[in-house]
Structure 1
Amino acid sequence: MTVAAREHRIAITDEALSDLRRRVIAARLLDPIDPDSGEDGASLRLVRRLADRWADGFDWRATEARLNRLPHFISRIDGLNIHYVHQRGVGPAPIPLVMTHGWPGSFVEMERILPLLTDPAAHGGHATDAFDVVVPSLPGYGLSQAPQSSGVSARTIAGMWANLMAELGYDRYGAQGGDIGAGVSLWLARQRPEALTGVHVNYIPSSFAPCIDEAVEPITSDEQAFLDRARMFAAENGAYAALHGTKPQTLAYALSDSPIGLAAWMIEKFDAWSDHDGDLDSVIPLETIITNIALYWFSGTIDASLRLYKENRFNPLAFASGEKVLVPLGVAVFPRELPMPPRSWVERVFDVQRWSTMPKGGHFAALEQPAALAEEIRAFFRPLR
């Protein structure tokens, strides 16, 4: 069930801003063995630079005014107040596209890519490639209400997005996403194939599991190499996901009490998962990261955002023997992405019609390489219009 949309403006109170700044200034930082190293997690050098900028060089009011130039709305969908940006396309026949962010992201991930997709002619493209773009905030992430009970996974959210798109009058639409947003998009294709023109992702969720019958279709050497890489990543870098997926509430107490603790937990991932040579600012401006972290802080629902991992663990993207999803799929593989399977692994279930190896970029493709990702999305959907 949905309730008609209402326009929304971001309006953080002066009291909340003052409290945040006081907490940032009063933060007690560590004295690590090596302040420049990220081997044990977010480096002191990076966290201190973020804290200094957040306390004295970051203008939330200017950021808020800029974000409010986007068309924000809130609809009540399946019992939750869901925030989304709905930007209409400029062109002869824009097609609808729902784009979903992940963790530790927000709708801010899509700010730079939005104009490239909605008004391509103004950015070196063709008006015939225009999209009507809908960017919802995941429940409990930033401006969307947190779930009031257990059971809200990427699978559930896909159904919510289908209801949202129907409310907006879109009977047929495309979906795009990375990280958790890729999972939501693939669940949409699985659950509502009649409504999807196509799905484009820049990540394949780690929970994706085709049913393997090695007597019929043995695992290839490339597929085995991917499975080995994924296991190694989980062993060496997957503690955050294991914690989110098992006991997220314990961590949430600390992150909801300390903005610098929250920032360190998040910026470690922005730093480790993006494609840069030691200068994170060169691909994702520090102000953008602070904006994203601030949205989590002001929401007060960090526990819900972490808990989505647990819900997804109970609802993996696992397929039965012979199950196929016939919605056209496009995949953009960025070189600094988390472990990605080979095309053959994905084709065990999905109808992969475009598979592109990108020259640079990482996990946060819409932030790091918005022009390249936008062109890939245009190219994939062009024959599906």
Structure 2
Amino acid sequence: MLVEPFLLSIPEADLVDLHERLARVRWPDRETVEGNQQGPQLTRLQELVARWREGYDWRPTEHLLNGLGQYRTTIDGLEIAFLHVRSPEPGAVPLLMTHGWPGSVLEFRHVIGPLTDPAAHGGDPADAFHLVLPTLPGFGFTQHPAGPGWNLARTAEAWIELMDRLGYPEYFAQGGDLGAGVTDEIAARNPSGLRGIHLNFAMFRPTPEEHAEATAAEKQMLADADYFWANLSGYAAEQSTRPQTIGYSLADSPTGLAAWIYSLIQDTAGTVPPLDEVLDNIMLYWLPNSGTSAARMYWEMVQAHWSSPAGIEHPITVPTGVAMAPREHVRKSERWVARRYTNLVHFAELPEGGHFTAWEQPHLLVDDLRTTFRGLR
């Protein structure tokens, strides 16, 4: 099947329309509490929109994406957009990396250079990777599914086909957030070419027995996760049950879309990335009008009764590395992980970072990937 390069060239009229919408925003009253307990503070969103309207320039990011190498191919009836960045090193090994929500392939912008060309970034050429960075179904410039069924499992099968279509008989896979779920699904299928996986998020839930037997550190992990699900997961409840309802706001209002995305970045990142990078990421939802279609992935997970295929009774046996950031709300302990990934070759508790490891702490993720996969090449 055809794999073809493509170049982004957003019509200037689309950017003018965005500017006009941002100029007409009607603001709500400010929050009635100090802090962000009710969501992003009015002053924060006003600062973001002011930058978006008056100083932000989309074109450099468009140039960046085009320069990295954008491709598309149709798999299972859906046109998949992906970045394919080949290393100059002859011994480079393919690495498939999958983003999550509300992220995009731009989460990986700071790891692409060190992973593909380590020598140019002070590293060992023997650690080089060819990178394949696909965009999830309904996200960004991947086609929006016209019917139900594009869940994490189906996405994993498409990614396996993608790697085969690119001529990679052996490869590694990595993911965080929804990307961790896709990577789990790939590992559960254990395709012949998969050498190992790396996760910076683990999507399984501890069992009642693990709750009862939790150490002091694990009890803190459980408490942090409970806080997240009780206080910070409203987006997931809405997208899991009524994505079309919030979707009208996400499609019509750039400020509404920005608030929806910025809220989770603010609540879960150890350090909020630079404002222009946040806007770059939001643009990959606004320009292709993918806020609604991306939200439906959560609905698809509920329809599929999805849970991580990594289980105590049916563990994943593919060689696995896991990195846990200290400001990740939903952390897992090494012993919990080892019960579900029985070929755990590396487990790290990172010194810094939150949910968006590749974006927040790219050097830590790069080092952890090299450590995990160095012995599996």
| TM-score scaled by length of structure 1 | 0.92
- Residues 191-233 of structure 1: CA deviation (Å, up to 9, x unaligned): 134321111011112xx247x595xx89531356544442332
The one-letter amino acid paired with 1:311 is: E
Structure 2 counterpart of 1:246, from 241, 246, 251: 241
Return closer, same or farther for 1:133/1:321 CA change in 2, 3 Å cut-off: closer
How many Å separate the matches in 1 of 2:5 and 2:373?
29
How many residues end up aligned between the 2 structures? 372
The one-letter amino acid paired with 1:251 is: I
How many Å separate the matches in 1 of 2:345 and 2:64?
37
Establish whether residue 257 from structure 1 lines up as the match of residue 248 from structure 2: no
Does the aligned pair in 1 maintain the 2:99–2:177 contact within 8 Å?
Answer: yes
Runs of 5+ consecutive residues of structure 2 not aligned to the other structure? none
Does the aligned pair in 2 maintain the 1:81–1:144 contact within 8 Å?
Answer: yes
Structure 1 counterpart of 2:355, from 363, 376, 381: 363
* Partner residue, 1:267: 262
How many Å separate the matches in 2 of 1:123 and 1:189?
30
How many Å separate the matches in 2 of 1:35 and 1:54?
26
Return closer, same or farther for 1:80/1:177 CA change in 2, 3 Å cut-off: same
The one-letter amino acid paired with 2:275 is: L
* Partner residue, 2:113: 115
% identity of equivalent residues: 39
Secondary structure of 2:279's aligned partner: helix
Establish whether residue 162 from structure 1 lines up as the match of residue 157 from structure 2: no
How many Å separate the matches in 1 of 2:255 and 2:366?
33
* Cα offset, 1:324, TM superposition: 2.2
* Partner residue, 1:372: 364
The one-letter amino acid paired with 1:328 is: P
- Residues 118-171 of structure 1: CA deviation (Å, up to 9, x unaligned): 001111110000001000000111110111211111111111000000000111
Secondary structure of 1:194's aligned partner: coil
* Partner residue, 2:292: 303
Does the aligned pair in 2 maintain the 1:91–1:129 contact within 8 Å?
Answer: no
* Partner residue, 1:384: 376
* Partner residue, 2:213: 220
| TM-score scaled by length of structure 2 | 0.94
* Cα offset, 1:61, TM superposition: 2.0
Secondary structure of 1:261's aligned partner: helix
- Residues 8-44 of structure 1: CA deviation (Å, up to 9, x unaligned): 1111111111111100111111221459731210111
Return closer, same or farther for 1:39/1:321 CA change in 2, 3 Å cut-off: closer
**Quick check: 93-102 or 304-313, which moved more?**
304-313
**Quick check: 266-275 or 125-134, which moved more?**
266-275
* Partner residue, 1:285: 274
Superposed counterparts of 1:72-83, under 5 Å: 72-83=70-81
* Partner residue, 2:126: 128
How many Å separate the matches in 2 of 1:371 and 1:28?
40
Establish whether residue 326 from structure 1 lines up as the match of residue 317 from structure 2: yes
- Residues 68-96 of structure 1: CA deviation (Å, up to 9, x unaligned): 21111001111111000001113231001
How many Å separate the matches in 2 of 1:163 and 1:100?
15
Structure 2 counterpart of 1:18, from 16, 19, 27: 16
* Partner residue, 2:60: 62
* Partner residue, 1:342: 333
How many Å separate the matches in 2 of 1:53 and 1:63?
16
Does the aligned pair in 2 maintain the 1:96–1:173 contact within 8 Å?
Answer: yes
* Partner residue, 2:135: 137
* Partner residue, 1:97: 95
Secondary structure of 2:56's aligned partner: coil
